[in-house]
Structure 1
Amino acid sequence: MKLVSFLDGQRLGYGAVKDGGIVDLSARLGAEAPTIKDCIATSLGKAALETGRAAPDLALAAVKLLPPVPAPGKILCIGVNYADHAAEMGRKPPPYPTVFTRFADTLAGPGDDLILPRNSADFDYEGELAVVIGRPARHVREADAMAHVAGYSIFQDASVRDFQRHTGQFTPGKNFPATGGFGPWLVTADEIRDPHALSIETMVNGTVRQHGSTADMIFRIPAIIAYLSSFTALHPGDVIATGTPSGVAAGQTPPPWLKAEDVVEVEIGQIGLLRHRVSEEG
């Protein structure tokens, strides 16, 4: 299934994409799974049955798509997780995953603008595979980690590089409002046989800037989940951004920073395409 969260007028709902429309699972499952987090945690099987036998309730064009999980409890991001990206940034591959956090209010849904901060022009793109947790995870072994994955999506981990480099901590450069693109949907894990065999491309105004494969991750998804769950509890709906391949603006001379009116797209095989326009902060 491709699960989406949406606004239908003022109503927040979620559903499955089917035949150019949406099967409204929030209405069909009701109190059994009132939010997409509840659906991920307890009702994916029921959601699949409803989607299989139902006609769409809504047209995709009639609703506003939101980030697939609009308010994750945790957004955990993995830095320098591709060797070629580590090299372009002048870093050695790390011995442990490099972890930083994003706040939920940094997210931008599919089609929303990415906001160029008024106090920086060093605005960079980073196309990434996102993993969404489906089962609580604490002290999980690598061998068991994939059983905790609900599905996959696309993440645009846009970075404000000068703020990122103010200290050794990445947090300021990763938490400007509307800089974390997320969507357009969550593809459930049963639809993707091998998440480490997906192409990933980032385009700016139609020109390919990043081209790689999730096969090139330094730390693969089981290792990431095992490490994260060793120091924090993961819950259904939590999001892990797994790192970006080479080709970012900061690795080039001069850096082709994102600017207002640019269109930045991330496409990941078997998932889809996430598109944003860049606009200036008001």
Structure 2
Amino acid sequence: MAVWDKKILWAVMLVLTDALGQRVNYPDPVCGVKGSTVTLPCSFTPLKSVVVNGREVLIEIIRVVWCKNHELCVFTTPSVYDSESNNNDPRYRYLGDKKGDCTLQISDLQEEDNANFRFRMEANEPRASFTNRSGVRVTVVDGAQMEIRSSRHDGEFKRGESVTLNCSSPMCTIHQLEVTWFRDGFALSESGPTVHLRYLTAKDSGNYSCGLKKNERTLSVPYSLHVEEGGGGSLHLIVRLMVGGLLVLFAVIVVVCVIKRTAKKVEDSVIYSSGAIYSTGLRQTTP
């Protein structure tokens, strides 16, 4: 009975502190593939001060805790991160502080992480400690085969073109992935979910696949990429340049012809006028 009374007391304190303006902002539900890394962006707003026995006490956050599947993160609740502990699981990395950032990163996701995570801040005055019970839901997908997506489904490219290959899970949207890329069975240096191939040449041709570094079962179906040897893209550019040059040359020839024709007309007009004046002068001087 005493335990339930204590829980009820804590629940009442949580409601009161929330009403006073304390906040914890969680992200939307997060989905991750087993073995991958996810980040839970989080921010919190503690109280600035409380009044104790008629005296204002400035609030300082002295401890931060992340737990899972517990509404309060207090008492004997197992935590995934505790700023006062030296035995935190290294898979859970706290990226925040004690000022307003409570971001948590979970690496090498396991089935046990399929849970509701909650954050708690504890202050120098117990009445200013707070847990937001809504939490953030993390869903873990086990053994989902990755897939490669590209803007070109046929995989046929010309020399000099570019392509971006994306390694993703069809079961949920994942923003952070540590993957291994392969071409014809040989590992590439890229480790992110995206590979950019620019100025393609024949050596880029091959079967590309990707998968999570720590989960071989996620290896994707190969994506076949073929680059034409002929360099059709360069030839097309050369043809366009030649056609453009011919058009410019034709325009210049037309302009020159027009100028010559105009000059010829002016010259003929001058000669004709000079001849007419000369003939008129001869008639006037004849007795």
Determine which structure has more spread, i.e. the larger CA radius of gyration.
Answer: 2
Tell whether the structures are fold-level matches, with TM greater than 0.5.
Answer: no
TM-score, normalised with respect to structure 2: 0.23
TM-score, normalised with respect to structure 1: 0.24
